[in-house]
Amino acid sequence: MQHTIKRFDEELNQLKELILSMGGLVERAIGHAVKSMLEQDEALAHKTIKRDRAINALEVQSDELTRDILVRRQPAAGDLRFIMGTIKVVTDLERMGDLAAGIAEGTLRSLEHSPKNFSNLDIMGEKVQKQVNRALDALSHGDIDLAMTVIEKDAGIDVLYKRMYREMLTYMMEDPRDITASIILSNVAKNLERISDHATNISEMVVYMERGHDIRHVDHEAAAKILAGEDW
């Protein structure tokens, strides 16, 4: 949608680009955090933690631009939905960055208690990164179908987390020496599961921005019916 005030369009585009840049940093942070754990890479873990400050800085910059647009432009309808949605997206991205840093901190704690078995951490990490990538692509292109795919696939991440958690409990019972490493890995898996939840939140906001439907508290089937204009 083009506005009569060209500068308004530029500001909205600037806000979107800022959020997508923040998303790119978050994607890399997640990848680096998981890699640091799998490879027990201390330097990469420190680097991931340090770079969380850049994510936080973009959060502040996005918030400032959002406030400025709200005050000066007083947006309505679709523009207001977009801006309100971006406020929530930025919060989710910042939290995802914190969770990635938490995984890297887990790497540092694990160096003295290196896990003997990483269970399905590599698979879970890859799937969660795909969830984040899909959510950001959906945001970038206003892709409702892709957003719904993210929401649907979150259940699979939950299954992987529960499987890893059960395996960690088994290792702890079999050998008390594995307790510390297993607790650390369980926490890492939980962080990944929560990152996927935030990717789902972003996808729900995409639906809200594009269609005006708030599907945050309905299941996937009900959300699909809402988007199709069916009763549920």
Q: Rounded to two decimals, what is the model's pTM?
A: 0.88
In this predicted structure, what is the pLDDT of residue 232?
A: 45
In a domain, residue 1? The reply is no
Total tally of structural domains belonging to the chain:
1
Tokens coding 4 = 């009569």
In this predicted structure, what is the pLDDT of residue 228?
A: 60
In a domain, residue 83? The reply is yes
In this predicted structure, what is the pLDDT of residue 210?
A: 86
**Structural domain for 29, as ranges:** 6-228
In this predicted structure, what is the pLDDT of residue 9?
A: 77
Distances, alpha carbon 63 to alpha carbons 75, 90, 198, 206, in Å: 16, 8, 18, 18
In this predicted structure, what is the pLDDT of residue 89?
A: 96
Q: What is the 3-state secondary structure (H, E, C) of 160-223?
A: HHHHHHHHHHHHHHHCHHHHHHHHHHHHHHHHHHHHHHHHHHHHHHHHHHHHCCCCCCCCHHHH
Q: Which of 204, 221, 227, 220 is nearest to 89 (CA)?
A: 204
Residue 12 sits in a domain of what CATH number?
Answer: 1.20.58.220
What region does 5 belong to: left with phi over 0, alpha with psi -120 to 50, or beta? beta
In a domain, residue 196? The reply is yes
In a domain, residue 47? The reply is yes
Write out the chain's pLDDT in tens, 232 residues.
445 567 777 888 899 999 999 999 999 999 999 999 999 999 999 999 999 999 999 999 999 999 988 888 777 677 888 898 999 999 999 999 999 999 999 999 999 988 888 889 999 999 999 999 999 999 999 999 999 999 999 999 999 999 999 999 998 998 888 899 999 999 999 999 999 999 999 999 999 988 876 666 556 565 555 556 655 4
Encoded amino acid at 206, one letter? V
